[in-house]
């Protein structure tokens, strides 16, 4: 038996504290305005005010019990003689419908489609746990936020499931409506599922459902003729099948929201894996600055997630460039060296950046891990060594950050990977079978390890070998250097074949990226991607190549 979530203390807001900015929407029973709320302590905050024609607390009641990242947040209420307004977080980019209209017949990129298909489903999963049916799932009721996320709004006719099976008095929008509601006025628990599939159809096609048709015609087609929206030929098979399942007349045969989410995630993964091999277009290439008279030796590359700057670990002179290849800073690698030590004893090898983009970290042949701020100023260094390793000075090479933002440092002498906090304090070590020359952490937390001339390995966080990667041509082709994990994909820069090999996290070979222009000595040494996966950066001994899909 469903229970009502008790109404939370609702923030009472005074109408006088709101300043009108503009009207942003019009519903059947409401008008929506952008307003500035002069908060007594926080100052001005932009909000959306949904002014209801009459004082009806149903929507307020339901929304006050909801808290989900993909549901428009209720901030408070204005409940005064002349005004009854729900004060909502403002979703600046309007509704999904207007967003799709703005594409002018175009459609979402595959990545955005899958992201939004999942984001549109998540609130329905949450509502199911709360025994709620939204009842009015449609593209005009999903809002787009400034940071490009979807949020479900308009809970004006949402209902608890125990109240819903039976008569549905309010009519939802016919373009998204399941046949049971047309025919018998019955609201099934899978009602929102039917409408959800219409929303993903809109996202896939960019079109308006049953464009130009009158409600009676839609009802007749959907119910009598059992007609459904035409699914485009190029729609990926799992999504096509999903829509068909969601549009079954018998609601009991429609998939659950949990099944839908898992189909979407699997299809997204499959598409991503297919796409990763390109074709990538060379967007730009820039030569690295290097010390005159010395050979250029760049081995590691990392992209700063906050400003997309590109850091290159380069013997004698590690550097930071803008995303366009303009030189910005050099990291003074001589800093921290003992007096009398030569620059040559400090050869930076790998570089990583913390997620905030404030610290560059470098492994260096002086056996130190060196840290620099975002302006490339030296901020300190620490030694990485494993207390259990047999004696001998460490030879630090591989470097990666794990999901807890701890640093993994590969010591090729003792074949240990040491885990440290960012201040250098030691946490633990694992022993691996090969020299951890370059390392990367997969989305599942496993570690990919490469050693030159050996097949790369995927090891668990305790060091157990989970898989050895197979080269498509033959084992002798392996001479791997840099490795990078993007979502569930592993990219490896391989010298012998002069390309980037792509694998799934489970070690399945997905294909390779035949990056152009690699002739000796321009061998691929390092590989990285921007966080959105839209740019691929490959570093060679003396240049950086930036590719886009």
Specify the residue, 52 or 396, whose C-beta has the smaller distance to ligand ADP: 52
Q: Nearest distance from residue 90's CB to ligand ADP, in Å?
A: 5
Q: Kindly state whether residue 62 participates in binding ligand ADP, applying the rule CB under 6 A.
A: no
Q: Kindly state whether residue 156 participates in binding ligand ADP, applying the rule CB under 6 A.
A: yes
Q: Nearest distance from residue 118's CB to ligand ADP, in Å?
A: 21
Stretch 285-314 residues interacting with ligand ADP (CB under 6 A): none
Residues in Cβ contact with 187 at an 8 Å cutoff, skipping those fewer than 6 apart: 133, 135, 159, 164, 165, 166, 168, 180, 181
SS3 content of the chain, % helix, strand, coil (to 5): 20, 35, 45
Structure tokens at 486: 């993007």
Specify the residue, 3 or 169, whose C-beta has the smaller distance to ligand ADP: 169
Q: Nearest distance from residue 53's CB to ligand ADP, in Å?
A: 9
Structure tokens at 403: 């999901």
Closest-CB residue for ligand ADP? Answer: 27
- What's the N-to-C CA distance of the chain in angstroms? 51
Residues in the chain: 549
Q: Nearest distance from residue 108's CB to ligand ADP, in Å?
A: 18
Burial class (CB within 10 angstroms; exposed 0-12, middle 13-18, buried 19+) of 397: buried
* 509 three-state secondary structure: strand
Q: Kindly state whether residue 32 participates in binding ligand ADP, applying the rule CB under 6 A.
A: yes
Stretch 196-225 residues interacting with ligand ADP (CB under 6 A): none
205 φ, ψ (degrees, to nearest 5): -95, -25
Structure tokens at 82: 């002349």
Strand order in the sheet with 524-529: 281-287, 543-548, 535-540, 524-529
Task: By CB under 6 A, name the one of 18, 30, 172, 280 that touches ligand ADP.
Answer: 30
Q: ∠ CA(96), CA(28), CA(97), 5° rounding?
A: 10
Q: Kindly state whether residue 72 participates in binding ligand ADP, applying the rule CB under 6 A.
A: yes
Q: Nearest distance from residue 484's CB to ligand ADP, in Å?
A: 38
Q: What is the DSSP string of 59-89?
A: HHHHHTT---TTBPPEEEEEE-SS-EEEEEE
Q: Kindly state whether residue 500 participates in binding ligand ADP, applying the rule CB under 6 A.
A: no
**Residues 5-24 as x/- pattern, contact with ligand ADP by CB under 6 A:** -------------------x
Nearest-CA neighbor of 364 among 316, 330, 406? 316
Specify the residue, 51 or 314, whose C-beta has the smaller distance to ligand ADP: 51
Q: How far apart are CA 252 and CA 272, in angstroms?
A: 32
Q: Kindly state whether residue 123 participates in binding ligand ADP, applying the rule CB under 6 A.
A: no
Structure tokens at 288: 């690295």
Q: Nearest distance from residue 171's CB to ligand ADP, in Å?
A: 12
Stretch 136-155 residues interacting with ligand ADP (CB under 6 A): 140-141, 143, 153-154
Q: How far apart are CA 374 and CA 499, in angstroms?
A: 30
Q: Kindly state whether residue 70 participates in binding ligand ADP, applying the rule CB under 6 A.
A: no
Q: Nearest distance from residue 158's CB to ligand ADP, in Å?
A: 10
Task: By CB under 6 A, name the one of 13, 18, 50, 535 that touches ligand ADP.
Answer: 50
| CA 25 remoteness from chain centre | 30
Specify the residue, 203 or 539, whose C-beta has the smaller distance to ligand ADP: 203
Say if CB 87 and CB 49 are below 8 A apart. yes
Q: Kindly state whether residue 27 participates in binding ligand ADP, applying the rule CB under 6 A.
A: yes
The three state secondary structure string of 437-455 is: CEEEECCCCCEEEECCCCC
Say if CB 417 and CB 430 are below 8 A apart. yes
Structure tokens at 234: 């190029």
Specify the residue, 142 or 547, whose C-beta has the smaller distance to ligand ADP: 142
Residues in Cβ contact with 248 at an 8 Å cutoff, skipping those fewer than 6 apart: 254
Q: Nearest distance from residue 50's CB to ligand ADP, in Å?
A: 6
Only segment of 89-97, 231-239, 402-410, 458-466 that touches ligand ADP (CB under 6 A): 89-97
Q: Kindly state whether residue 493 participates in binding ligand ADP, applying the rule CB under 6 A.
A: no
Residues in Cβ contact with 81 at an 8 Å cutoff, skipping those fewer than 6 apart: none
Q: How far apart are CA 382 and CA 419, in angstroms?
A: 13
Q: Nearest distance from residue 48's CB to ligand ADP, in Å?
A: 4
Specify the residue, 52 or 515, whose C-beta has the smaller distance to ligand ADP: 52
Specify the residue, 22 or 225, whose C-beta has the smaller distance to ligand ADP: 22
Nearest-CA neighbor of 403 among 419, 388, 424, 386? 419
Task: By CB under 6 A, name the one of 71, 77, 78, 88 that touches ligand ADP.
Answer: 88
Q: Nearest distance from residue 380's CB to ligand ADP, in Å?
A: 46
Q: Nearest distance from residue 37's CB to ligand ADP, in Å?
A: 13
| CA 239 remoteness from chain centre | 20
Number of residues that bind ligand ADP (CB under 6 A): 22
Stretch 91-110 residues interacting with ligand ADP (CB under 6 A): 91, 94-95
Specify the residue, 32 or 448, whose C-beta has the smaller distance to ligand ADP: 32
Q: Nearest distance from residue 177's CB to ligand ADP, in Å?
A: 15
Positions that interact with ligand ADP (CB under 6 A) = 24-25, 27-30, 32, 48, 50, 72, 88-91, 94-95, 140-141, 143, 153-154, 156
């Amino acid at each position: 038996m469903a229970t009502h979530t008790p109404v939370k203390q609702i923030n009472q807001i005074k109408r006088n504290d709101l300043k009108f900015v503009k009207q942003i929407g019009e519903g059947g029973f409401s008008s929506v305005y952008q307003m500035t709320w002069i908060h007594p302590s926080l100052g001005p905050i932009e909000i959306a005010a949904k002014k209801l024609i009459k004082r009806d607390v149903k929507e307020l009641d339901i929304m006050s019990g909801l808290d989900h990242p993909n549901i428009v947040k209720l901030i408070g209420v204005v409940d005064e003689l002349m005004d009854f307004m729900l004060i909502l977080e403002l979703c600046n980019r309007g509704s999904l419908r207007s967003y799709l209209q703005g594409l002018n017949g175009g459609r979402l990129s595959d990545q955005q489609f899958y992201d939004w298909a999942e984001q549109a489903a998540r609130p329905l999963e949450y509502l199911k746990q709360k025994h709620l049916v939204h009842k009015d799932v449609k593209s005009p009721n999903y809002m787009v936020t400034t940071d490009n996320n979807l949020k479900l709004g308009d809970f004006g006719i949402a209902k608890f499931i125990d109240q819903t099976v039976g008569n549905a008095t309010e009519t939802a929008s016919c373009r998204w409506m399941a046949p049971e509601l047309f025919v018998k006025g019955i609201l099934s628990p899978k009602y929102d599922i039917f409408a959800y599939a219409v929303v993903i159809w809109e996202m896939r096609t960019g079109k308006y459902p049953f464009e130009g048709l009158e409600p009676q015609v839609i009802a007749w087609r959907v119910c009598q003729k059992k007609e459904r929206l035409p699914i485009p030929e190029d729609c990926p098979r799992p999504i096509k099948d999903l829509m068909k399942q969601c549009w079954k007349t018998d609601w009991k045969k429609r998939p659950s929201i949990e099944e839908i989410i898992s189909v979407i995630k699997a299809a997204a993964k499959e598409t991503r894996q297919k796409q990763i091999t390109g074709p990538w277009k060379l967007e730009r290439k820039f030569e690295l600055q290097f010390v005159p008279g010395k050979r250029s030796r760049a081995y590691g590359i990392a992209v700063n997630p906050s400003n997309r700057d590109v850091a290159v670990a380069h013997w004698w002179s590690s550097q930071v460039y803008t995303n366009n290849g303009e030189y910005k800073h050099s990291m003074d690698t001589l800093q921290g060296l003992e007096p009398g030590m030569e620059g040559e004893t400090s050869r930076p090898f790998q570089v990583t950046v913390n997620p905030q983009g404030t610290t560059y970290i470098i492994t260096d042949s002086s056996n130190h891990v060196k840290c620099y701020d975002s302006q490339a100023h030296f901020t300190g260094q620490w030694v990485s060594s494993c207390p259990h390793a047999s004696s001998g000075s460490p030879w630090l090479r591989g470097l990666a950050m794990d999901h807890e933002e701890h640093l993994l440092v590969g010591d090729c002498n003792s074949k240990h990977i040491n885990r440290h906090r960012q201040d250098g304090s030691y946490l633990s070590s694992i022993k691996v079978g090969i020299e951890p020359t370059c390392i990367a952490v997969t989305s599942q937390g496993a570690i990919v390890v490469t050693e030159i001339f050996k097949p790369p390995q995927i090891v668990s966080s305790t060091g157990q070998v989970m898989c050895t990667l197979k080269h498509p041509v033959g084992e002798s082709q392996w001479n791997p250097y840099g490795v990078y994990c993007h979502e569930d994909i592993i990219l490896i820069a391989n010298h012998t074949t002069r390309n980037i090999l792509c694998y799934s996290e489970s070690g399945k070979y997905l294909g390779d990226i035949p990056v152009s222009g690699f002739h000796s000595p321009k061998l691929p040494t390092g590989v990285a991607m921007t966080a959105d996966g839209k740019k691929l950066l490959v570093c060679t001994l003396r240049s950086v190549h930036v590719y886009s899909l």
